[in-house]
Each structure stands twice: as structure tokens, then as C-alpha cells.
């Protein structure tokens, strides 16, 4: 095997693969599989629950001899990243060592036999659908804030993909807040899958094309693109009925407010909130004020009058400031609409100009 390629191109691809490759020393999964054919370089890395395949076709790639070999992913990435970006890197195999040269630098790296590299095996796909890549990326990222990280209910530690009649719903929740995003114009069959939180980022951003093609296997989800494939194992379990939470209350009270202003107010008031619960509350009425919940043991308090339009009965609703600000941060719209369902019902929060996105926040008892 012998090829040369532009250092910055090679480094960016290697970086993507090295992120997936396992960091636990001493296993085959710490390696990246490098293969070169006629005019294509393929890199494969995996860590047991994810696998990435990246193919590179670029003018700077010059293949002198075809072949496949495995080398330590992290080291490889560090070496190539350290090279000047505008130079070409030459990679060749000699005496079971991978030799990387660039200008006057020369590195020699231990290799591993290709047969020992564990590749994820797939069966026949159960479903396949295509969705606008930019939509998937943007909506997914805003919703992913709500994912649980280490919940005992495994299925909550991930993001739900739910395709129903040409619409893809992305849902994430940790039990106290939930984000749901609707993407229409999806072609493909109805299906459901829960992507683990660790893979969500790669899963959303992997594709380089305008349309992401997603294939679902019994326990795998794959993003297929020209530039490669990204596999992730799925979380098992039945995702709770998120659609039930999206039902708007029968007699709602609505607050419309400027998002950046509300976010800043919430952050300011939260400075005085109790350090465990971060409880703050809306006093809704003719005047809308945001105050610290009375549960602070030290007796610290803060209050701020908010500008906004409120239609509904007078009430007090408490929230965790952390959850509220997280959601306000992830929404990009200028104005948000908050629909309260009494002091105990799930509160809906959505940007006024984007009906696809909606968040549900559980009020705190105050």
C-alpha cells in the first residue's frame, strides 16, 4: 500500500474517525482501518456501538499501490494533524510498519492485520427514509438538549426518530422536559428508532449531501451518504407516548415574550435561586414577574418584571431555571409562546415563527 494525500484533507477525515474509535487501550477497536483502491481512500473506525466509514475521493489523492491496513487511530490523527496543512502526506507500508512522511518528517507506526478488525455486520434493513439534511441537523440539535444522559430508564438516554405518514418526529426527553420537532416531506416507510445520546451528534451531522438517507435495521440505524456510512446501535425499549404530551390544554393561558429578553431575565433571577432546585416562578397576571421560588433556605430572593403579552387567568407557575434557560437558549426565534396548563400541567413552549418545534416543560411545585 502506498499513497499520498493533502495533509489537511486527510487530517479532517482522520479526526472524524478518531472520535469514533475506542480510546480504551489494548483492543482492536482503537485502530482505524485504512484502505486504498484506484482513486478512493476508505477509513473505518468503530467502538462497539458506533461505526464510521469515510470515503475520500480528491484530486490530491495519488495511489501508487493498493492495499488495506489497520493503525492506531489516535496516534495517526495526532501525527497527520501536526503536519502543515498545505503539504502532501505520503503513507506507505514497509515491514509491517506504516511509514508516514511529509517534507522532512518521517514517522513509523505499528500496524495490525486487517482480519483482526471487528466490523459491524448488518442484516437486511427494516425501513429506509430520506429527509432534508439541514432540517435534520438543525431540528435534531435543538431537540437533543432535552435528552437524558444517565437515566435508569434506558430509552430516555437517546433521541426518538418516529416516521409517521411522511413526517419525521424527533423527540427527546429526560422526564422533566421534552423537545419534539416535526420535519415534513419525508419519503419512506413508517418506523421508530431510538438513537443513543452518544451518537446523536454524529448521526445528525454525518451526511454531506442535501438529503440524508437513513436506514434502520433491527438494532442499528445507518446514515448512508456518498462520503460514507455512519452506523449506530439503537437503544432498546418502548419510548413513552410523547404525542400525548403534545396535546394542548383545553383552557390554556398564553404568554408571548421576546426570547432573548426572557432568557436574560431568567438567567438573572436564577442567580438568586436555590442552588439545588434552581426554582424560579412566573407570577402571571396583569403584570408578569419572574421571581425566585420561595424554597431558598437562605431566604435569598430576586424578582424581575417581564415584558410580554399574557392572556389567561392569574396564577403562579414554578420551573427549574436550568431547564427553562436550556430550552430558551436552543430556540433561535425572536419570540416564544408559552402555553400554561395550570400550575401543575405540562407547559408548552414554542417559537412563534416555527410551528414545527415545540418543547414541554414540567412545572415545579412551589
Q: 299: Cβ–Cβ under 8 A, 6 or more apart, which residues? A: none
CB of 250 to another protein, least distance (A): 9
Sequence-distant (6+) residues with CB within 8 A of 52 are 16, 17, 20, 43, 44, 45, 46, 202, 206, 228, 229, 230, 231
Evaluate whether 352 touches 335 at the Cβ level (below 8 Å). Answer: yes
The residue from 240, 303, 315, 335 that contacts another protein (CB under 8 A) is 240
- Whole-angstrom Cα distance, residue 221 to residue 168? 15
Could you say whether residue 360 binds another protein (CB under 8 A)? yes
What is the nearest approach in angstroms of another protein to the Cβ of residue 282? 18
Which 3 state secondary structure label does DSSP give 52?
strand
Long-range contacts of the stretch 241-244 (C-beta < 8 A, 24+): 242/160, 242/169, 242/171, 242/173, 242/178, 242/180
Closest to another protein by CB, 104 or 149: 149
Residues 86/8, Cβ–Cβ less than 8 Å: yes
* Single residue of 177, 259, 281, 348 touching another protein by CB under 8 A: 177
- Confirm or reject binding of residue 346 to another protein (CB under 8 A): yes
State yes or no: residue 175 binds another protein (CB under 8 A): yes
Residue 80 or 361: the one with the smaller Cβ distance to another protein is 361
Q: Does 215 bind another protein (CB under 8 A)?
A: no
* 177: nearest Cα among 151, 200, 195, 196: 151
User: Could you tell me if 196 and 235 are in contact, meaning their C-beta atoms sit under 8 angstroms apart?
Assistant: yes
Q: How far is the CB of 153 from another protein (least distance, A)?
A: 8
Please select the residue that binds another protein; options are 104, 121, 286, 365, rule is CB under 8 A.
365
Closer by beta carbon to another protein, 44 or else 172: 172
By C-beta, is 134 or 311 nearer to another protein?
Answer: 311
Contact flag: residue 237 with another protein (CB under 8 A): no
| 87: Cβ contacts below 8 Å, ≥ 6 apart | 6, 7, 102, 103
Q: How far is the CB of 45 from another protein (least distance, A)?
A: 36
Is residue 149 a contact point for another protein (CB under 8 A)? Answer: no
Spatial contact of 129 and 90, defined as CB atoms under 8 Å apart: no
Identify which of residues 118 and 342 has a Cβ nearer to another protein in the complex. 342
Rounded to 10°, the helix 73-81/7-20 angle is 150
Question: Does the footprint of another protein cover residue 244 (CB under 8 A)?
Answer: yes
Out of 274, 281, 290, 319, point to the residue binding another protein (CB under 8 A): 274
Q: Which of residues 285-344 bind another protein (CB under 8 A)?
A: 294-297, 344
Nearer to another protein, 177 or 233 (CB): 177
- Stretch of 1-9, 43-51, 176-184, 216-224 contacting another protein, by CB under 8 A: 176-184
Sole residue written with cell 416516521: 163
Q: What is the CA radius of gyration of the chain?
A: 25
Residues in the site for another protein, rule: CB under 8 A?
152-153, 173, 175-178, 240-241, 244-245, 274, 276-277, 294-297, 344-346, 360, 362, 365
Amino acid at each position: 500500500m502506498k499513497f499520498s494525500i493533502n495533509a489537511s484533507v486527510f487530517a479532517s477525515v482522520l479526526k472524524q474517525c478518531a472520535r469514533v474509535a475506542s480510546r480504551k487501550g489494548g483492543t482492536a477497536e482503537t485502530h482505524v482501518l485504512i484502505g486504498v483502491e484506484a482513486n478512493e481512500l476508505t477509513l473505518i473506525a468503530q467502538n462497539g456501538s458506533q461505526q464510521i466509514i469515510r470515503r475520500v475521493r480528491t484530486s490530491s489523492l495519488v495511489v501508487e499501490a493498493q492495499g488495506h491496513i489497520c493503525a492506531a487511530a489516535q496516534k495517526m490523527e495526532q501525527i497527520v494533524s501536526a503536519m502543515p496543512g498545505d503539504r502532501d502526506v505520503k503513507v506507505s507500508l514497509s515491514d509491517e510498519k506504516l511509514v508516514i512522511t511529509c517534507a522532512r518528517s518521517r514517522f513509523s507506526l505499528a500496524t495490525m492485520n486487517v482480519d483482526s478488525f471487528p466490523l459491524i455486520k448488518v442484516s437486511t434493513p427494516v425501513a429506509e427514509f430520506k429527509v432534508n439534511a439541514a432540517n435534520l441537523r438543525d431540528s435534531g440539535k435543538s431537540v437533543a438538549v432535552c435528552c437524558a444522559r444517565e437515566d435508569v430508564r434506558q430509552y430516555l438516554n437517546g433521541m426518538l426518530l418516529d416516521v409517521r405518514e411522511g413526517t419525521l418526529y424527533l423527540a427527546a426527553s429526560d422526564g422533566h422536559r421534552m423537545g419534539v420537532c416535526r420535519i415534513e416531506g419525508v419519503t419512506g416507510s413508517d418506523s421508530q428508532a431510538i438513537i443513543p445520546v452518544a451518537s446523536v451528534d454524529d448521526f445528525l451531522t454525518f451526511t454531506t449531501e442535501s438529503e440524508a438517507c437513513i436506514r434502520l435495521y433491527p438494532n442499528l440505524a445507518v446514515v448512508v451518504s456518498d462520503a460514507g456510512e455512519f452506523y449506530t446501535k439503537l437503544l432498546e425499549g418502548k419510548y413513552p407516548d410523547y404525542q400525548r404530551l403534545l396535546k394542548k390544554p383545553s383552557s390554556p393561558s398564553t404568554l408571548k415574550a421576546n426570547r432573548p429578553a426572557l432568557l436574560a431575565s431568567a438567567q438573572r433571577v436564577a442567580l438568586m435561586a436555590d442552588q439545588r432546585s434552581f426554582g424560579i416562578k412566573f407570577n402571571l397576571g396583569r403584570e408578569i414577574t419572574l421571581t425566585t421560588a420561595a424554597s431558598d433556605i437562605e431566604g435569598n430572593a430576586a424578582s424581575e418584571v417581564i415584558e410580554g403579552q399574557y392572556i389567561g387567568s392569574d396564577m403562579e407557575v414554578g420551573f427549574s431555571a436550568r431547564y427553562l434557560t436550556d430550552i430558551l437558549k436552543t430556540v433561535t426565534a425572536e419570540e416564544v409562546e408559552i402555553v400554561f396548563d395550570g400550575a401543575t400541567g405540562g407547559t408548552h413552549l414554542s417559537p412563534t415563527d416555527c410551528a414545527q418545534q415545540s418543547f414541554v416543560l414540567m412545572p415545579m411545585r412551589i
